[in-house]
Amino acid sequence: MAKEELETLIQRAAYRMKSPEQGAATTLWCAVSHQLDARGGVYCVYCNIAVPVPANSEETRGVRP
């Protein structure tokens, strides 16, 4: 791997890092959200219910089959 590629990967990883509070936010949202009342089997991300995306999607958000 070229040095430039490695630096790009490190920058992307740092951009995606979350604080402990940010990391816990979705779990806490799921625990108290009335949007999830009487619903089960959903995948949650970023304090919301994840939207389905195709298996070959290049989106960074969503849930795949």
The per-residue pLDDT for 8 is 80
Q: How far apart are CA 40 and CA 33, in angstroms?
A: 13
Q: 6-59 pLDDT, tens per residue?
A: 788 777 776 677 889 998 999 999 999 999 999 888 999 889 999 999 999 888
The per-residue pLDDT for 25 is 95
The per-residue pLDDT for 19 is 85
Pick from 65, 8, 3: which is nearest to 16 by CA? 8
pTM above 0.75, yes or no: no
The per-residue pLDDT for 59 is 82
DSSP string for 14-35: HHH---HHHHHHHHHHHHH-GG
